[in-house]
């Protein structure tokens, strides 16, 4: 079941990623917009963060998702609004 969820989530992420190559260490900021405050922030971000990093590797944007490629990961407090994620790479 978990493998199916990962596959489906990564498919949704992959089609939204641009075609680019990043050869330097990146910092990532995640901002979630949620419909209400019922979910704990860790439940909102943890699996999405993994799926997103795995998608960056699968699409060839980064070579690996290890410490040489990924610097800081910032999970901002969720904001009530239309459900979406805004991800910034720097």
What whole-number distance in Å separates Cα of residue 75 and Cα of residue 28?
9
Q: Is the pLDDT assigned to residue 58 strictly greater than 90?
A: yes
The pLDDT confidence band at residue 1, using thresholds 50, 70 and 90, is confident
pTM of the model: 0.89
User: Average pLDDT, stretch 14-32?
Assistant: 96
**What does the pLDDT read at residue 26?**
98
Helix (H) or strand (E) holding 55: helix 41-58
Q: Which domains does the chain have, with CATH numbers?
A: 2-89 (3.30.1330.70)
Per-residue DSSP letter, 81: S
């Amino acid at each position: 079941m978990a493998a199916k969820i990962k596959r489906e989530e990564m498919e949704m992420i992959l089609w939204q990623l641009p075609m680019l190559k990043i050869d330097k260490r990146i910092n990532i900021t995640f901002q979630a917009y949620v419909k209400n405050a019922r979910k704990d922030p860790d439940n909102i971000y943890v699996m999405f963060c993994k799926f997103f990093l795995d998608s960056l590797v699968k699409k060839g944007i980064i070579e690996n998702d290890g410490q040489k490629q990924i610097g800081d990961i910032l999970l901002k407090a969720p904001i009530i609004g239309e459900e979406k994620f805004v991800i910034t790479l720097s």
